[in-house]
Amino acid sequence: MSPEPEPSDADLLAAAAAGDRTAFEAFYRRHGPWLTARLRYRCADAALVDDAVQETFLAIWRGKARYRERGEAAAWLWQIGFRRLVDAIRGQRARDRLLRLLAGRRWRDSPSAEEEILVGVEHGDLAGALARLSPELRAVMQATVLDGLSTHEAAALLGIPAGTVKTRAMRARRQLRGDLA
């Protein structure tokens, strides 16, 4: 008798959406550790990362984030987690500004360069330029630049050949240079 195959991410998410706590816990065990590790690579504040991961999985459990089976579930999860991290950083910056005003002195700790870039990507000139990219070019830029994946990792994640990733990245960079010049 062969063991039952492990359920796919899509199966786990569908069951979790129907209220199956066991499926949700299995999805969390499968993806929680790598999401935490990748977000910690983006932000040095472990508490902010932990909050972002918790908010990501709470959004899934509460039904605020629904997987529509377009692309890989891991890529969908990363997008939610990344946005939650940006929100957490933005909230922390607002709290820091308030503390500075209340204390009447200059705050000594400043955000890291990466944290500044994350906020700029979400709300600065780069955000508009990224939004003007076609979905195919934007997906490649997200995977290779924002997520830090190699060409081969991005190809596997997006389900396209590595050469296509390289070509789309080149086209996206050319368009971004034009938009940001």
Between 2.40.110.10, 1.10.8.50, 1.10.1740.10, 3.30.300.280, what CATH number should domain 8-107 receive? 1.10.1740.10
Compute the chain's Rg from CA coordinates: 19
Report the pLDDT value the prediction gives residue 124, as an integer from 0 to 100: 57
Q: What is the pLDDT of residues 97-139, one digit of tens each?
A: 666 666 554 444 555 555 555 555 555 566 777 788 898 998 8
Calculate mean pLDDT across residues 17-23. 88
Distance, in Å, from the CA atom of 48 to the CA atom of 39, rounded to the nearest integer, reads 9
Q: What is the pLDDT of residues 163-174, one digit of tens each?
A: 999 999 999 888
Question: 113 or 148: whose pLDDT is higher?
Answer: 148
Calculate mean pLDDT across residues 137-152. 81
Q: Does the pLDDT of residue 148 top 80, yes or no? A: no
Q: Is 52 exposed, middle or buried (0-12, 13-18, 19+ CB in 10 A)?
A: buried
Report the pLDDT value the prediction gives residue 25, as an integer from 0 to 100: 93
CATH of domain 124-181: 1.10.10.10
Buried/exposed 88-109: b ≥16 CB within 10 Å, e otherwise: bbeebeeeeeeeeeeeeeeeee
Q: Does the pLDDT of residue 11 top 80, yes or no? A: yes
Provide the residue ranges of all domains of the chain, joining segments of one domain with +: 8-107, 124-181
Residues 59 and 80: beta-carbon distance below 8 Å? yes
Question: Average model confidence (pLDDT) for the chain?
Answer: 79
Q: Is the dihedral of CA 26, 66, 121, 85 positive or negative?
A: negative
Range name among 42-51, 65-74, 102-111 with the lowest pLDDT average: 102-111
Distance, in Å, from the CA atom of 140 to the CA atom of 138, rounded to the nearest integer, reads 5
Q: Does the pLDDT of residue 41 top 50, yes or no? A: yes
